[in-house]
């Protein structure tokens, strides 16, 4: 993403596209401050726009980790009038920001850059403090005549920019009129966020120095990349912040705290790197570099093995998986991905052994269930496969591969109603409404209209007709 260049003293002058124009929303007093309800609506609309633009990470484990870390900080913060939501944005840009209503966003690029959990906790503590202090709302109060959707567009322009891998998110805020707004935190607001955030961080058990360490990483990143990190643009006055935080550490927060409490950050970083838009060759070099200085790093070995597999380096991949298991024999991720690689090579017996071990360690992992079931299918044990696939039902199934596998398995098990149903959902996901309707109509013949499955079929068919 090409960062937004500051104008003056981090005065981000935005040419922002407004959805409904500069109009006062019904029932809102132009003289009044943003109410808590206004903030919640604004935060919710901004989130929904990003969700629709498909820029939010769907990695459940990574989002759950971020949420758990955020809740740990919240438990030691001021009582907030919002229900907080912590979300990862699929962008390599180094940034984190908060919007009104308790929504905190962290880019994948920032998570993969931090050197320990405490640094990431410090970023979240700073953002939580901005929300608790209602700092963005105070700035947006200057544009009280704008509607909620217009304010959401302004936030999009400020925090996401207008280019790179987040273009879709910005353009999702439909154009109707244009305006400019200088959106910037004051020095007092940044100091307040650091002061409150430091208190939250230390009370949670982390070392206060991790907040300062992160700013130093940002400076190193800027020096070596010759690019201004987005974080500097959305959180101005970094040099002043560094001195202010250092003063707090010297005078108030002198005790030593932990740099990790929840743990497993390394695996989360690896999962996000594998999910990202970076070229596989870049990931290969990254994991090789980590292993050159830390050859027994199980997270890097896992990432390297997956990357080798994706590049067609199957023999090397299997050898790397084996080395990782020598270090961490009960690693469910390594066992699962090794099993999937073996399955794709037609080595069903060995694949089954690896996947069954992974399943024993984590019976809820969808990919483990899917490929263990497919392994049973390949070995002509359809009933065992179907028993596993039935565990997938009731889950939030967005993966077309899982839907297709379920449809095929029910067909082989002579259950045409269920087979037609999952083929219908599969074709709907693939954007083929005619094929989807054909299968849904065929499925409806096998289920009573008032049954749960019958109602679901009718609902899906109706949505396609509309």
Which CATH number does the domain housing residue 311 bear? 1.25.40.10
3 falls within a domain: no
pLDDT at 25: 35
Does 118 share its domain with 187? yes
pLDDT at 148: 57
178 falls within a domain: yes
Average pLDDT over residues 340-358: 97
Does 448 share its domain with 357? no
Does 437 share its domain with 465? yes
Helices (H), 204-297: 209-225, 230-234, 238-251, 265-275, 280-293
199 falls within a domain: yes
pLDDT at 198: 92
> pTM for this one?
0.81
Does 387 share its domain with 292? no
197 falls within a domain: yes
Does 81 share its domain with 181? yes
Give helix then strand counts, H and E, for the chain. 23, 5
Does 309 share its domain with 426? no
Q: Which residue has the higher pLDDT, 161 or 234?
A: 234
pLDDT at 5: 34
Token pair in block for residue 163: 């280019």
pLDDT at 223: 72
Does 359 share its domain with 291? no
Average pLDDT over residues 40-51: 88
For residue 460, give every residue at least 6 positions away whose Cβ sits within 8 Å of its Cβ, in sequence order, or none: 424, 425, 428, 436, 440
Does 350 share its domain with 322? no
Q: How many structural domains compose the chain?
A: 4
128 falls within a domain: yes
Does 204 share its domain with 338? no
346 falls within a domain: yes
With bands split at pLDDT 50, 70 and 90, how would you rate the model's confidence at 159?
low
96 falls within a domain: yes
164 falls within a domain: yes
Average pLDDT over residues 318-328: 97
pLDDT at 172: 53
Whether the pLDDT of residue 190 is over 50: the answer is: yes
Does 108 share its domain with 167? yes
- Measured distance CA(307)–CA(328) in Å, rounded: 19
The mean of the pLDDT values for the chain is 83
Does 241 share its domain with 101? yes
* Domain range for 317: 279-327
């Amino acid at each position: 993403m090409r960062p937004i260049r500051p104008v003056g003293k981090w005065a981000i002058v935005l040419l922002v596209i407004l959805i409904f124009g500069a109009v006062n929303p019904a029932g809102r007093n132009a003289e009044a401050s943003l109410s808590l309800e206004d903030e919640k609506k604004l935060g919710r609309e901004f989130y929904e726009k990003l969700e629709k633009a498909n820029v939010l990470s769907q990695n459940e484990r990574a989002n759950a980790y971020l949420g758990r870390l955020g809740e740990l900080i919240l438990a030691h913060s001021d009582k907030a009038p919002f229900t907080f939501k912590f979300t990862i944005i699929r962008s390599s840009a180094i940034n984190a920001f908060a919007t009104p209503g308790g929504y905190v966003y962290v880019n994948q690029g920032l998570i993969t850059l931090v050197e320990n959990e405490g640094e990431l906790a410090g970023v979240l503590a700073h953002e939580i403090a901005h929300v608790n202090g209602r700092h963005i709302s105070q700035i947006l109060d200057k544009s009280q005549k704008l509607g909620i959707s217009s304010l959401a567009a302004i936030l999009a322009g400020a925090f996401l920019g207008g280019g790179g891998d987040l273009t879709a998110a910005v353009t999702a805020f439909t154009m109707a009129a244009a305006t400019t707004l200088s959106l910037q935190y004051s020095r007092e607001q940044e100091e307040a966020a650091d002061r409150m955030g430091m208190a939250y961080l230390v009370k949670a058990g982390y070392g206060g120095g991790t907040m300062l360490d992160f700013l130093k990483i940002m400076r190193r990143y800027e020096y070596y990349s010759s690019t201004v990190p987005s974080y500097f643009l959305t959180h101005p006055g970094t040099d002043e912040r560094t001195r202010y935080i250092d003063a707090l550490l010297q005078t108030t927060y002198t005790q030593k705290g932990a740099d990790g409490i929840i743990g497993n950050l390394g695996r989360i970083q690896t999962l996000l790197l594998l999910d990202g838009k970076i070229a596989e060759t870049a990931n290969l070099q990254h994991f090789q570099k980590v292993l050159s200085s830390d050859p027994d790093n199980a997270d890097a070995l896992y990432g390297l093995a997956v990357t080798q597999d994706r590049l067609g380096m199957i023999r090397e991949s299997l050898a790397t998986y084996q080395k990782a298991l020598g270090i961490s024999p009960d690693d469910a991720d390594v066992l699962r991905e090794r099993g999937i690689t073996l399955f794709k090579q037609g080595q069903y017996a060995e694949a089954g052994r690896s996947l069954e071990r992974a399943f024993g360690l984590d019976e809820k992992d969808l990919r483990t269930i899917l490929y263990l079931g497919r392994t049973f299918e390949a070995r002509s044990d359809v009933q065992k496969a179907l028993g596993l696939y039935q565990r997938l039902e009731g889950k939030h199934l967005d993966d077309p591969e899982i839907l297709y596998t379920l449809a095929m398995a029910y067909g082989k098990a002579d259950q045409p109603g269920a087979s037609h149903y999952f083929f219908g959902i599969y074709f709907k996901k693939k954007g083929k409404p005619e094929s989807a309707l054909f299968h849904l109509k065929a499925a409806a013949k096998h289920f009573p209209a008032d049954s749960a499955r019958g109602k679901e079929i009718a609902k899906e068919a109706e949505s396609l007709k509309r």
